[in-house]
């Protein structure tokens, strides 16, 4: 048994007050879950503490929440591990690692009904219905079931593992910026049917998702949903599969999303790392190596991107040299050979790569702490009213 302090972000709509933090002391074996801690606090200290749960075994998808800022399932997160992460974050912020509370909040990107209970209907389920989450076969229905080769279903088994917990939606950075983004869970569900050999409306589905300005090209490839998903669905990978299928079908989208993706691939093949200053022009008027054909749209989009570039310069996310197209250096000889070998291997084996570059966990905590400091400084500069959604 060990003692823990859990710090819960509460919201009691009947009180008429805004959200507030409350701490509870709990006593549990470290191998038990954060959800067990919450249920103990509810049982011993305050029966009004609201949390949604059912199976307590990572099956029903009810107990999505944020633990130390990370979206996931309360019943799948051991309280001992949550404490270790809380201590690590405090240490990275230079705070004393003693009696550090485990911070528990409702899921993000959705309204809060009460305490840790969020409104899944208005965001998650509405978006799931948006992608027509059922089979659309053509022709006469067979007398019994549709027969398919087992191998033809392998591609969609990963998306079929989803338990609709909403953790990916909670963590999605694109959805924070664009609440209308269809989002990781619904797009993973869309791939479940696009990849199904029994579905006869694959091309229509792809046109729909590519032409929606909040569709497959609205994902910024940030990996947050991959980290959050407790069932290894890797929603971002499913979105990349949808994009690949749309590209194979030659579907042109209004945002040049497919060309933008090809631009990434071509620039890195050419230079070894990403020359971000080339991206806009290359996305709207493709053709590297002196074959650039400046187009009206390319120029308009370049001008439109200037405020973003200026903001990045001011926040020192890029240096002045990186903002000038064509000044980005190629990697030195050996390293370029390695990059070419990766491309060659991918082409020969028709493989999909998701390069997930991470430092060690200490480094990651430091980066997160630095970002938290920047956000806190910005929040102080522009005070805003707190809402239940945080």
Interaction site with ligand SF4 (CB under 6 A): 162-168, 171-174, 184-185, 188, 219-225, 228-229, 231, 233, 235-236, 239
Q: How many Cα atoms sit within 13 Å of 168 on the Cβ side?
A: 33
| Closest residue by Cα to residue 226 from 235, 218, 217 | 235
| Nearest distance from C-beta of residue 279 to ligand SF4, angstroms | 17
| Nearest distance from C-beta of residue 73 to ligand SF4, angstroms | 8
- Determine the Cα–Cα distance for residues 280 and 387; give it in Å rounded to an integer: 36
54 binds, among ligand FES, ligand SF4, none (CB under 5 to 8 A by kind): ligand FES
Is 7:103 a contact under the CB 8 Å cutoff? yes
| Nearest distance from C-beta of residue 356 to ligand SF4, angstroms | 11
Is 89:246 a contact under the CB 8 Å cutoff? no
**Residue 203 φ then ψ, to 5°:** -65, -40
- Determine the Cα–Cα distance for residues 163 and 165; give it in Å rounded to an integer: 6
Distances from the Cα of 48 to the Cα of 4, 20, 83, 116, 299, angstroms? 20, 14, 24, 11, 58
Q: Please say which residue, 58 or 90, places its beta carbon nearer to ligand SF4.
A: 58
- Determine the Cα–Cα distance for residues 388 and 116; give it in Å rounded to an integer: 11
62 binds, among ligand FES, ligand SF4, none (CB under 5 to 8 A by kind): ligand FES
55 binds, among ligand FES, ligand SF4, none (CB under 5 to 8 A by kind): ligand FES
| Nearest distance from C-beta of residue 34 to ligand FES, angstroms | 10
CA 88 distance to own-chain centroid? 23
Question: Contact positions toward ligand FES, by CB under 6 A?
Answer: 53-56, 58-63, 73, 75
Q: Please say which residue, 164 or 255, places its beta carbon nearer to ligand FES.
A: 164
Q: Please say which residue, 122 or 295, places its beta carbon nearer to ligand SF4.
A: 122
338-376 CB burial, b ≥16 within 10 A, e <16: ebeeeeeeeeeeeeeeeeeeeeeeeeebbebbeeeeeee
Q: Please say which residue, 90 or 236, places its beta carbon nearer to ligand SF4.
A: 236
| Nearest distance from C-beta of residue 181 to ligand FES, angstroms | 24
229 binds, among ligand FES, ligand SF4, none (CB under 5 to 8 A by kind): ligand SF4
Q: Please say which residue, 32 or 233, places its beta carbon nearer to ligand SF4.
A: 233
| Nearest distance from C-beta of residue 1 to ligand SF4, angstroms | 31
| Closest residue by Cα to residue 318 from 308, 304, 305 | 308
- Determine the Cα–Cα distance for residues 362 and 48; give it in Å rounded to an integer: 37
Q: Please say which residue, 53 or 100, places its beta carbon nearer to ligand FES.
A: 53
162 binds, among ligand SF4, ligand FES, none (CB under 5 to 8 A by kind): ligand SF4
Using CA of residue 142, residue 147, residue 148, residue 153, what is the dihedral sign?
Answer: positive
219 binds, among ligand SF4, ligand FES, none (CB under 5 to 8 A by kind): ligand SF4
| Nearest distance from C-beta of residue 300 to ligand SF4, angstroms | 25
Q: Please say which residue, 220 or 255, places its beta carbon nearer to ligand SF4.
A: 220
Apex 74 CA angle, 72 and 78, nearest 5: 100
280 binds, among ligand FES, ligand SF4, none (CB under 5 to 8 A by kind): none
Is 140:94 a contact under the CB 8 Å cutoff? no
166 binds, among ligand SF4, ligand FES, none (CB under 5 to 8 A by kind): ligand SF4
Q: Please say which residue, 164 or 255, places its beta carbon nearer to ligand SF4.
A: 164
**Element (DSSP H or E) covering residue 22:** strand 20-28
| Nearest distance from C-beta of residue 342 to ligand FES, angstroms | 38
């Amino acid at each position: 048994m060990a003692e823990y302090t859990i710090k819960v972000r509460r919201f009691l709509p009947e009180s008429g007050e805004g959200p507030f933090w409350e701490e509870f002391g709990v006593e549990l074996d470290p191998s038990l879950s954060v959800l067990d801690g919450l249920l103990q606090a509810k049982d011993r200290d305050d029966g009004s503490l609201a949390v949604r749960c059912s199976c307590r075994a990572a099956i029903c998808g009810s107990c999505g929440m944020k633990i130390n800022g990370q979206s996931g399932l309360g019943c799948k997160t051991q309280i001992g591990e949550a404490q270790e992460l809380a201590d690590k974050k405090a240490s990275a912020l230079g705070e004393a690692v003693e009696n550090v509370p485990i911070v528990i909040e409702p899921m993000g990107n959705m309204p809060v009904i009460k305490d840790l209970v969020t409104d899944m209907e208005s965001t998650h389920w509405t978006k799931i219905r948006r992608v027509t989450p059922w089979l659309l076969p053509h022709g006469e229905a067979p007398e019994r079931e549709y027969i398919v080769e087992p191998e033809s279903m392998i591609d969609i088994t990963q998306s079929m593992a989803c338990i609709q917990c909403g953790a990916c939606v909670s963590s999605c950075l694109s959805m924070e910026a664009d609440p209308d983004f269809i989002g990781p869970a619904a797009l993973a569900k869309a791939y479940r049917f696009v990849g199904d050999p029994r579905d006869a409306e694959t091309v229509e589905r792809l046109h729909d998702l590519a032409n929606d300005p909040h569709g497959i090209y609205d994902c910024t490839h940030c990996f947050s949903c991959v980290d959050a998903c407790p069932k290894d669905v890797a929603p971002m990978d499913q979105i990349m599969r949808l994009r690949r299928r749309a590209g194979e079908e030659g579907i042109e989208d209004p945002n040049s999303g497919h060309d933008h993706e090809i631009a990434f691939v071509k620039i890195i093949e050419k230079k070894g790392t990403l020359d971000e200053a080339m991206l806009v022009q290359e996305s709207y008027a493709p053709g590297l190596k002196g074959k650039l054909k400046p187009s009206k749209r390319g120029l308009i989009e370049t001008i439109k991107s200037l405020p973003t570039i200026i903001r990045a310069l001011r926040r020192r996310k890029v240096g002045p040299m990186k903002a000038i197209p064509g000044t980005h250096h190629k990697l030195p000889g050996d390293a370029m050979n390695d990059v070419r070998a990766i491309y060659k291997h991918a082409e020969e084996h028709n493989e999909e790569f998701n390069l997930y570059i991470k430092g060690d966990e200490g480094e990651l905590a430091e980066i997160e702490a630095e970002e938290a400091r920047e956000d806190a400084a910005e929040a102080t500069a522009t005070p805003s009213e707190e809402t239940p959604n945080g």
